[in-house]
Structure 1
Amino acid sequence: MNECLSGRDFTVLLDNSASAEKITAWKRHLRICDSCATQLLRTQAGLVSIQKAKVKTSSVVNVSNEPDNIGGLEPNVQIGDFRIEKRLGTGGMGIVYQAVQVSLNRRVALKVLPPGLTLNQESAVERFHREAQAAAKLHHTNIVAIYAEGEENGTCYYAMEMIEGQSLDQVIDDFRAAKGDNSAPPDFTSIEKGGTGEEPDSAESVRSDTKTAFSLSRGGSLQRHFDTIARLIADVADALAYAHNKGIIHRDVKPSNLMLGKDGRLSLMDFGVARMLEDQGITITGSFIGTPHYMSPEQIRGGGDKPDHRTDIYSLGVTLYELLTLRVPFVGENREQIITQILGKEPLRPRQLDDRIPVDLDTICCKAIEKEANRRYQTAGEFAEDLRRYINRYTIRAKRSGPVDKIIKFVRRHKVPVAMAAGILLASIIAGVATWKYFTSRWAQERVIPEIRTLVDKGKYFEAFELSRNAERFARGDPGLAALWPEFSDTMTIDTTPGGARIYVQRYSSPGEKWIRLGKSPTGQIRLARGLYRWKLTKPGYATVEVRRPTSNRPVNFQLYRKDEVPTGMVRVSGGRFKLWLNGMSHHEIELDDYFIDRYEVTNKQFKEFVDSGGYREEKYWKHKFLKEGIILSWSEAMQEFRGESGGAGPSGWRNGKYPEGQDDYPVGGISWYEAAAYAEFAEKELPTIYHWSRAGITSGRYSGTILLHSNFNQKGAASVGGYEGMGSYGTYDMAGNVREWCWNKAGDNKRYILGGAWDEPEYKFVVPAAFSPFDRSTTNGFRCVKYVSDSAVPEKAFEDIVFETRDYSRESPVSAEEFLLYKKTLYSYEKDALNEAVVSVDDSQKYWVHETIVFDAAYGEERVIAHLYLPRNSSPPYQTVIYFPGNSALFLHQYHAGGLPDYLLRGGRAVLYPIYKGTYERNSGLQSNRPDRSLSYRDHVIWWSKDLSRSIDYLELREDIDHEKLGFLGLSWGAALGAIFPAVDDRLKVCVLVGGGFYFEPALPEVDQINFAPHVRIPVLMINGRYDGALLVEKSQRPMFDLLGTPDKDKRHLLFDSGHLPREHVNEESLKWFDLYFGPVVQKEAKQTE
């Protein structure tokens, strides 16, 4: 039926006294007629007497036309805790006011059910309360919050969040007007609008500068425009997912029920309508009180095709469609035409209306508005996830439909006779092949390269590698793809001595993955994703080698040893010169020969052999004086110290000489240093020196903290040896965590070192040397042993006492402000002579930037500073500029290369200046370490580095294409540590990002000590660190530096990520956000101008 219901029809329908066919026809009409559906609600509530005349299709129901007993509340009238300020809007089921909650002095939107609406209708009040209670169950950022509900003098009300802004349909109307677009859908009903979803009495009552928050300007960046749309819809999809998980379906998602606040937040309103209608036993939903453009096919069909949560996904998809194209998918002269199209016609894809719309957004939108619910996103969460994958430039889950999909839809919709099935199948195959070739090629060419770049920027080399390998199948030889490979992969040749070994690798971060066989040694060139791997090499007759190694672009050779050359249960460790990478000990250096160390900690079962063999009764195993609190004990006296819980000889946690049942392979605990040394003697081994233990267990560099992610820390007990996958560089397990391990060396005060940390300790204990009385028998004390290839080859230094030097910054104070100013004036200032600058080369071959190499006079000696200036192509001068200070690898490389260049800043539109600081690259000065010491050489270098930085700023100030007021600093690792000094010396730096920084533990002369400068850093500072940084500990290094920075608390931030020394993921994103926050976003050129 096309005609609207008469007053009598409403009465008959509510009495359920009409024929089944008539009621079915009326219900079908109510699904598509807003006026009749609204009139039905009002009739049910007893609001009006039934009109005999038919309600015309174009009629608009407005409460203000009703009898006087439904008059509005005057300003300053108080109802409950709320004082009325003004009316915002009216609607079929209430009036909305702007009000103030008196007790909390906050502005709210107050929805009121006037007394006239409740006359002799208790059910109307019940429905109103139920609406408020339904919405009040939902607490989500993107759902309008319900604060309170109540009733006073017969007037029911509830208070909700007041959103200053516009409804989304108003925003869309504004953009249509700006575009001159007349494709707005017909206004079939009084769609609820305004600050709370009701019809506004005047546009001024709710309109505000939402367009700024929305950032939807066709004159601005198209990419940002579409990203903003995706973000807003993803936020609403999250809100729907939350509601669906609570068992609530909205059923009326449309732009007029979405409020966009000034803060850019899009909020969903009116959750109570669907429940209110459903509770009346009428099988129509709240969506029917709206325009039919947003209704899903199953809503329209009704009957047994009962809508579920996926109807909200469809409606939100239509909203996305309208935001992208500024028109709805289907338009018609009347509702019946629109309904017919929704049920039986495929909409134009958004890109057919505007080819500027990104392909991925087009694909996401079309999946959301599939006619068949099981072809849409199955959850709102999936919808949100795909939108965010688009925003982050990841591969979306949705697949673009092609000819095959269209054929399938046609078959399902029109029920093609079975006789045509063979022809359709053949056509499907042909179309499928064509579609496959076209879209996979397009995917590889147009989407994969930007996505790979995003993955590389986030340090996700494995993911970039897999994506590139897949894409290469369809775009083999593509120069753009080929140019990316070196950025996330390494090409290696692998050999063994002797050759013929089978070689396997496994990602270190994924120990559960299947081992990948690379072939037999020697291999040809093998390409691997850049990163850390577990390597396994096997050859008959030889001991299996399992080690941890990162990839490189150099040939690798592994030495194999015959099985009889490697003691059972031990691994061979390569010797060489190295530093102790324990906190406070990096100044200790030694050269070692090869040696063997136990793969696992000594177990209960192994130690039981010592006990059962009379280990506590045989004095020959106990070679060291028993010195306790300055008194030397006899052997028999000492043995009384080494008793278990029952008094028998053995570790402190054993009873009657036995360990807990089922713990054969657990590490022995409760062991004193003397007991560990006696067992080593029994096993014809030794306790490792602190050097030998560290060589096998601790590595420096990028991957130093990865072992911590796979080790037993912060737990309730020990685990079986090897139960955690934290493997060291030479194939040892559990050197990080589980039980801490006794070492040979004394620490002074009759203490012995015990290293690695224990199961009940935090991760940073792995690299913090601990020392205890050799009589200490804590349950967390264990050990492992070593065998030296030749005793005579072990240097005496390895066995010497080591005094642990560190700094406790909680006990230190900076120098006075006067002394700091004296340092700054006498040591860091310089004569600003002419720079004598020159641009020595310009490289404009790069796609995204121009590279200038510059030289200018240093502020000391007669040296020249080299600097590399990178200017972005995608923005216009004057450029915001970031000065970069690298990690310590720059000290050991003698030729500049841009491998560490923070190119994400350039892609974001900022210039980068990379000075060659004294001692780095071509300006090598022989400095061997970046770590502080009390030498004049170190002091001079810090001052030189500071002056190089300041002279670089002098140079930038000569250039008109640089914004002199927007100069930032980015320090990485070493550079981040020095970030506690440089901004205090040169106040021309305005914003600072420090990645992997902290206070050093080694002491320095006061004029170059970080602690004396940090309080004078006043600019905004973002510190980004790894929670498991073994070099600069969170509590002892990172936080002391952060806390001492003189920056106001509101302008400094410390971000911690689950990583080792240098977090990779999120660094680029967070850095850009920080510079955007204080410098303002960079206005980038349109993509086609730079592509």
Structure 2
Amino acid sequence: MALLPGFEHDIFISYRQKDNKYDGWVTEFVTNLKKELEATFKDDVSIYFDENPHDGLLETHNVDLSLSKRLNSLIVIPIVSQTYCDPKSFAWQHEFLAFINLIRSDRFGQHVKLTNGNVASRILPVRIHDLEPEDLALFEKETGEVMRSIDFIYRLPGVNRQLRAKDDEQIKVSNQILYRDQINKVARAIKEIVQGIKQVDQPAQVVTSKAASAAAVPTPVTAQPRKAFRVNKPLVIGTSLLVIAAIFAPGLYKKYRVRNEVIPAIQQLINDNFAAPSKAFELALEASEIIPDDSALIRLWPKISRKVKWETNPAGADIYWKDYERPEDPWKKLGTTPMSEVRIPFGVRFKIELPGFETVHVTTGRIGTENKLKLDSIGTIPANMVRIPARTTPMLIVGLEQYQGQPVPEFLADKYEVTNAQYKQFVDAGGYQNPTYWSNKFVKDGKVISREEALKSFIDKTGKPGPAGWEVGSYPNGLENHPVSGISWYEADAYARFAGKQLPTVFHWSVIAETNRTMVIVPKSNYNGQSTVPVGSLEGISSFGIYDLAGNVREWCANPSGTNGLYFSLGGAWNDATYAFNDAYMVQAMDRSVGNGFRCIQLLKEDQSFSETSRPVSMMFRDYTKEKPVDDQTFEFFRRQYAYDPGPINAQVKVMADTGIWHVEQITMDAAYNKERLVIYLFMPRNGKAPVQPVIYYPGSNVIYEQKFTNTYVNRLEFIIRSGRAIAIPVFKGTFERHDELKSDLPDNTVFYKDHVIMWRKDLSRTIDYLETRTDIAANKIGYFGWSWGGYQGGILPAIETRIQCIVLHVGGMVMNPSLPEVDQLNFLPRVKQPVLMLNGKHDLFFPVETAQKPMFNLLGTPAKDKKIIIYDAGHLVPRTELIRETLLWYDKYLGTVN
């Protein structure tokens, strides 16, 4: 008999037969729970459990009417395994869903107010495996709440199995949960729920819902009798229970607050940002103190942090962190080296301290999975220089991308730009008169001149040797800590020789600059348009604590561009636009503009690479204000090269996953070339009304380097699916599982690249060919969404594929790299006539505003009223909420609103 009249049992155990068939895990669980309930309860608790795994009740059969009666229980415990969340299974349909339908219509409802004021669900999941995201989403969709399970999972890397009672004696991992503790948690949770139900002062009235009856189809089958375990104890109710509840209420309230306030706050921060801010990490740390094993929290950790390993030589260094964008915050201690598998947040700066050694600063942009840092004893390296570990050059500088991959050995770099006070030491030491520092060939206006003639130009306002802005051989009062400026490349190189250092090459500068973090560095740097500021006074640091690489003064580099007296100057100055941080500039070596400054590096003794890294380099640049597209007749010749024979589709469709929000189908079909098979992943909304509008997604270039498509690639655009539209993701030639020799998304002058662009067009068009065969797809209302690389391709492919009705380009633009005219974006942009929305960032390192974004927008052939560009104060991602709002408004406007 149950604790309350009108109920058949207190607890109903629901599970898949296969989870008990081979090792009896569920039987063992119920047996141990029975023992724990005997020690916990003073009431008569009835557990219904089908203990016979061979009872003949196959999961494809209908359930007899007696099960509907037994489902009338106070609590259901679903044993949630890898296979439990299966809509085709007996346990899911006839037990789990039927119980939900039943309790939602009885007098207590699904949620119960506990004696301490908190709220609990009458569905108490016991999880024995880590779940796939789609399974978890399905469970939470049906229950309408976050899964708060009690986990019996053996926590070991690479292992996903049930925790057994015997494991308690063998556990070696410090953070492993114990079986006996989890059993105790289940029993205590049951007691709290039962007490909450019993505090309702009106007698229970059970109403059998129509939904539950429908779930239990009245077609009887022969089954062996099922047994019920019963715990019998005298019923004792007194003030002692209230005292116990009061004692435990603070802890329960903390759990309630974390689950109902902190966890949702973390999720909101994730939803609102492409990269979760460190605040989400701080909230997760708070939550982990209260509910470390909570399934919702466990799912959130990878979205707000990553695990890394820290080692220092010597060991014992303390590592602290703070949010990069909040430098005024106090430092928070992460731990002491060595550290293994420690979580770190995104977007932060670190400080590594060890008494007697130089403090090291790094940012998350330079933190890998394994980090080994050499610490220098104080006084063993020059003052205000920092050690830069060896690295392969990323070269994320517009116009120099083709030089990425150059190895750069370990070196020392100035923490600050050379100041007026430091440069005056050179002047006062007779640096301008010492020929040792002036051994380079001088070039002016393309002609070689003598050192004596060159030095005549290197004077201040009063004719004394020195920078252009000085007077009487000295800097203006109060500017001693400002960067020296108004100097030529030759003067910068002479000072470096005087100091026993070198000018950085473009490769060394690229290694330290972190131009991929423009969106956070530039706002904290000096592009004020007024004057320089003291070095190190702003917080726009790059890794290893190097200041002012962005702005303040442009920095001369060692590399010439050819033999015409041009040298590279990088980073931009106080009087430049902010995008100068990402652009390469070639400047006459004799130029003494007010924005010209420098910093130095120092090579280590064993470094023999400088002759290689200081070699002449050339910059790719295209001035799209002067280049002209081909005429219509020539373009028509180009267009014919993209033609294909449609042919039969021969599609095979396989449903890959269903989250309850969407299901994804894998379609394999005949491609338009080489007898290959094209793969398409089609995400169909559950809330869409057929026929649904499809959006074809062309992703970023990272897909070239990925081995296989996963459902996570739709996460960024799930808002489109939730709006009621479908997303089709073709696996373009050379990406994901269709890998070939393609290594980069950058255009070039090869036939290989030309052939790929043509194949990408055919993949796009064959995708539309398939969509046109579906009655549940509105193939006359097709949208295109291009992300980065897809944004660039959005300036080519829609000019050929006119069945696309509407285009959104996220962080797209033009590039400096030339290509064959048949695939040159310049020739296609004027032929794109569809409505186009461009969403861009002011600090985009790949597509700068003036040289990439605006030229693309201006060249589009779309009528002015139907094209729009929005440039945000952002980098190579725009604010997520703005992306969602503007994208959906654009599709609604040009494809029509959806239900």
Normalised to the residue count of structure 1, the TM-score between the two structures is: 0.57
Could you say if the C-alpha distance between residues 750 and 728 of structure 1 is closer, same or farther in structure 2, counting changes exceeding 3 Å?
same
Paired with 1:870 and 1:942, the residues of 2 have a C-alpha distance of 25
Pick the aligned partner of 1:774 from 568, 585, 589. Answer: 589
1:861 and 2:674 are equivalent in the alignment: yes
1:646 and 2:462 are equivalent in the alignment: yes
Q: Secondary structure at the match of 1:656?
A: coil
Paired with 1:577 and 1:707, the residues of 2 have a C-alpha distance of 21
Pick the aligned partner of 2:437 from 603, 621, 634. Answer: 621
Could you say if the C-alpha distance between residues 963 and 452 of structure 1 is closer, same or farther in structure 2, counting changes exceeding 3 Å?
farther
Pick the aligned partner of 1:801 from 605, 616, 620. Answer: 616
Identify the residue that residue 916 of structure 1 maps to in structure 2.
731
- 1:989 Cα deviation after fit: 1.4
- 1:808 Cα deviation after fit: 0.6
User: What amino acid is aligned across from residue 772 of structure 1 in structure 2?
Assistant: V
Could you say if the C-alpha distance between residues 555 and 698 of structure 1 is closer, same or farther in structure 2, counting changes exceeding 3 Å?
closer
Identify the residue that residue 718 of structure 1 maps to in structure 2.
532
User: What amino acid is aligned across from residue 688 of structure 2 in structure 1?
Assistant: S
User: What amino acid is aligned across from residue 508 of structure 2 in structure 1?
Assistant: H
Paired with 1:931 and 1:527, the residues of 2 have a C-alpha distance of 34
Pick the aligned partner of 1:896 from 694, 703, 709. Answer: 709
Task: Single out whichever of 535-544 and 884-893 deviates more from structure 2.
Answer: 535-544
Pick the aligned partner of 2:700 from 858, 883, 887. Answer: 887
Could you say if the C-alpha distance between residues 1056 and 672 of structure 1 is closer, same or farther in structure 2, counting changes exceeding 3 Å?
same
Paired with 2:584 and 2:383, the residues of 1 have a C-alpha distance of 29
Paired with 2:605 and 2:367, the residues of 1 have a C-alpha distance of 32
Paired with 2:787 and 2:485, the residues of 1 have a C-alpha distance of 40
Paired with 2:625 and 2:653, the residues of 1 have a C-alpha distance of 47
- Residues 1001-1044 of structure 1 show CA distances to partners (whole Å, capped at 9, x for unaligned) of 11111111111111121222111110111221111110111111
Superposition map of 1:537-686 within 5 A? 537-550=352-365, 554-563=369-378, 565-589=380-404, 590-686=406-502
User: What amino acid is aligned across from residue 621 of structure 1 in structure 2?
Assistant: Y
- 1:974 Cα deviation after fit: 0.7
Could you say if the C-alpha distance between residues 670 and 539 of structure 1 is closer, same or farther in structure 2, counting changes exceeding 3 Å?
same
Superposition map of 1:457-606 within 5 A? 457-459=271-273, 461-462=276-277, 463-470=279-286, 477-529=293-345, 531-550=346-365, 554-563=369-378, 565-589=380-404, 590-606=406-422
1:765 and 2:580 are equivalent in the alignment: yes
User: What amino acid is aligned across from residue 984 of structure 1 in structure 2?
Assistant: A
Pick the aligned partner of 2:779 from 964, 970, 985. Answer: 964
Could you say if the C-alpha distance between residues 469 and 684 of structure 1 is closer, same or farther in structure 2, counting changes exceeding 3 Å?
closer
- 1:996 Cα deviation after fit: 0.6
Q: Secondary structure at the match of 1:918?
A: coil
Q: Secondary structure at the match of 2:893?
A: helix
- The answer as to whether partners of 1:885 and 1:914 remain within 8 angstroms in 2 is yes
- The answer as to whether partners of 2:836 and 2:862 remain within 8 angstroms in 1 is yes
Task: Single out whichever of 898-907 and 462-471 deviates more from structure 2.
Answer: 462-471
- Residues 979-1018 of structure 1 show CA distances to partners (whole Å, capped at 9, x for unaligned) of 1012111122111111110011111111111111111212
- The answer as to whether partners of 2:281 and 2:305 remain within 8 angstroms in 1 is yes
- The answer as to whether partners of 1:490 and 1:552 remain within 8 angstroms in 2 is no
Paired with 1:799 and 1:1021, the residues of 2 have a C-alpha distance of 43
Could you say if the C-alpha distance between residues 948 and 674 of structure 1 is closer, same or farther in structure 2, counting changes exceeding 3 Å?
same
Paired with 2:769 and 2:313, the residues of 1 have a C-alpha distance of 56
- Residues 886-913 of structure 1 show CA distances to partners (whole Å, capped at 9, x for unaligned) of 1111112223234442222222222212
Could you say if the C-alpha distance between residues 877 and 437 of structure 1 is closer, same or farther in structure 2, counting changes exceeding 3 Å?
farther
Task: Single out whichever of 910-919 and 835-844 deviates more from structure 2.
Answer: 835-844
Paired with 1:503 and 1:787, the residues of 2 have a C-alpha distance of 27
Higher alpha-carbon Rg: 1
Q: Secondary structure at the match of 1:809?
A: coil
Normalised to the residue count of structure 2, the TM-score between the two structures is: 0.68
- Residues 346-377 of structure 1 show CA distances to partners (whole Å, capped at 9, x for unaligned) of xxxxxxxxx9xxxxxxxxxxxxxxxxxxxxxx
The answer to which structure has the higher helix fraction is 1
1:706 and 2:508 are equivalent in the alignment: no
**Gap regions ≥5 residues in structure 1:** 1-354, 356-428, 1084-1091
- The answer as to whether partners of 1:973 and 1:996 remain within 8 angstroms in 2 is yes
- Residues 637-667 of structure 1 show CA distances to partners (whole Å, capped at 9, x for unaligned) of 3332221112222111111111112222110
Could you say if the C-alpha distance between residues 557 and 850 of structure 1 is closer, same or farther in structure 2, counting changes exceeding 3 Å?
farther
Q: What RMSD in Å do the two structures reach over aligned CA positions?
A: 2.7
User: What amino acid is aligned across from residue 1041 of structure 1 in structure 2?
Assistant: M
User: What amino acid is aligned across from residue 559 of structure 2 in structure 1?
Assistant: N
Superposition map of 1:17-166 within 5 A? none
Q: Secondary structure at the match of 2:858?
A: helix
Could you say if the C-alpha distance between residues 548 and 476 of structure 1 is closer, same or farther in structure 2, counting changes exceeding 3 Å?
closer
- The answer as to whether partners of 1:1023 and 1:1055 remain within 8 angstroms in 2 is yes
Superposition map of 1:793-832 within 5 A? 793-794=608-609, 796-825=611-640, 827-832=641-646
Q: Secondary structure at the match of 1:811?
A: coil
Could you say if the C-alpha distance between residues 467 and 1068 of structure 1 is closer, same or farther in structure 2, counting changes exceeding 3 Å?
farther
Paired with 1:900 and 1:595, the residues of 2 have a C-alpha distance of 39
**Gap regions ≥5 residues in structure 2:** 1-108, 110-242
Could you say if the C-alpha distance between residues 598 and 899 of structure 1 is closer, same or farther in structure 2, counting changes exceeding 3 Å?
farther
- 1:440 Cα deviation after fit: 7.0
Paired with 1:851 and 1:446, the residues of 2 have a C-alpha distance of 31
- The answer as to whether partners of 1:699 and 1:729 remain within 8 angstroms in 2 is no
- The answer as to whether partners of 1:457 and 1:1068 remain within 8 angstroms in 2 is no
1:950 and 2:765 are equivalent in the alignment: yes
Could you say if the C-alpha distance between residues 629 and 474 of structure 1 is closer, same or farther in structure 2, counting changes exceeding 3 Å?
closer
- Residues 832-874 of structure 1 show CA distances to partners (whole Å, capped at 9, x for unaligned) of 1222211244212x24221222211221112222222222223
Pick the aligned partner of 1:1044 from 856, 859, 866. Answer: 859
Which structure is higher in RCO with an 8 Å CA cutoff and minimum separation 6? 2
Could you say if the C-alpha distance between residues 820 and 434 of structure 1 is closer, same or farther in structure 2, counting changes exceeding 3 Å?
farther
- 1:588 Cα deviation after fit: 2.1
- The answer as to whether partners of 2:813 and 2:847 remain within 8 angstroms in 1 is yes
1:736 and 2:550 are equivalent in the alignment: yes
User: What amino acid is aligned across from residue 271 of structure 2 in structure 1?
Assistant: D
- The answer as to whether partners of 1:501 and 1:538 remain within 8 angstroms in 2 is yes
- The answer as to whether partners of 2:788 and 2:811 remain within 8 angstroms in 1 is yes
Could you say if the C-alpha distance between residues 551 and 625 of structure 1 is closer, same or farther in structure 2, counting changes exceeding 3 Å?
closer
1:456 and 2:265 are equivalent in the alignment: no
Paired with 1:956 and 1:743, the residues of 2 have a C-alpha distance of 53
Task: Single out whichever of 589-598 and 514-523 deviates more from structure 2.
Answer: 589-598
Paired with 2:513 and 2:366, the residues of 1 have a C-alpha distance of 19
Could you say if the C-alpha distance between residues 881 and 557 of structure 1 is closer, same or farther in structure 2, counting changes exceeding 3 Å?
farther
User: What amino acid is aligned across from residue 712 of structure 1 in structure 2?
Assistant: N
Paired with 1:564 and 1:437, the residues of 2 have a C-alpha distance of 52
- 1:481 Cα deviation after fit: 4.0
Could you say if the C-alpha distance between residues 1026 and 435 of structure 1 is closer, same or farther in structure 2, counting changes exceeding 3 Å?
farther
Paired with 2:347 and 2:623, the residues of 1 have a C-alpha distance of 33
Paired with 1:1032 and 1:887, the residues of 2 have a C-alpha distance of 13
Paired with 1:1004 and 1:495, the residues of 2 have a C-alpha distance of 45
User: What amino acid is aligned across from residue 886 of structure 1 in structure 2?
Assistant: P
Q: Secondary structure at the match of 2:573?
A: coil
User: What amino acid is aligned across from residue 651 of structure 2 in structure 1?
Assistant: E
Identical-residue share of aligned pairs (%)? 40
1:1068 and 2:881 are equivalent in the alignment: no
- The answer as to whether partners of 1:500 and 1:521 remain within 8 angstroms in 2 is yes
Could you say if the C-alpha distance between residues 698 and 467 of structure 1 is closer, same or farther in structure 2, counting changes exceeding 3 Å?
closer
Q: Secondary structure at the match of 1:965?
A: coil
- The answer as to whether partners of 2:812 and 2:853 remain within 8 angstroms in 1 is yes
Could you say if the C-alpha distance between residues 559 and 923 of structure 1 is closer, same or farther in structure 2, counting changes exceeding 3 Å?
farther
- 1:793 Cα deviation after fit: 2.0
- The answer as to whether partners of 1:504 and 1:519 remain within 8 angstroms in 2 is yes
User: What amino acid is aligned across from residue 917 of structure 1 in structure 2?
Assistant: F
Q: Secondary structure at the match of 1:499?
A: coil
Identify the residue that residue 256 of structure 1 maps to in structure 2.
none
1:1023 and 2:825 are equivalent in the alignment: no
User: What amino acid is aligned across from residue 369 of structure 2 in structure 1?
Assistant: R
Identify the residue that residue 90 of structure 2 maps to in structure 1.
none
- The answer as to whether partners of 1:966 and 1:1079 remain within 8 angstroms in 2 is yes
- 1:483 Cα deviation after fit: 2.3
Paired with 1:580 and 1:457, the residues of 2 have a C-alpha distance of 31
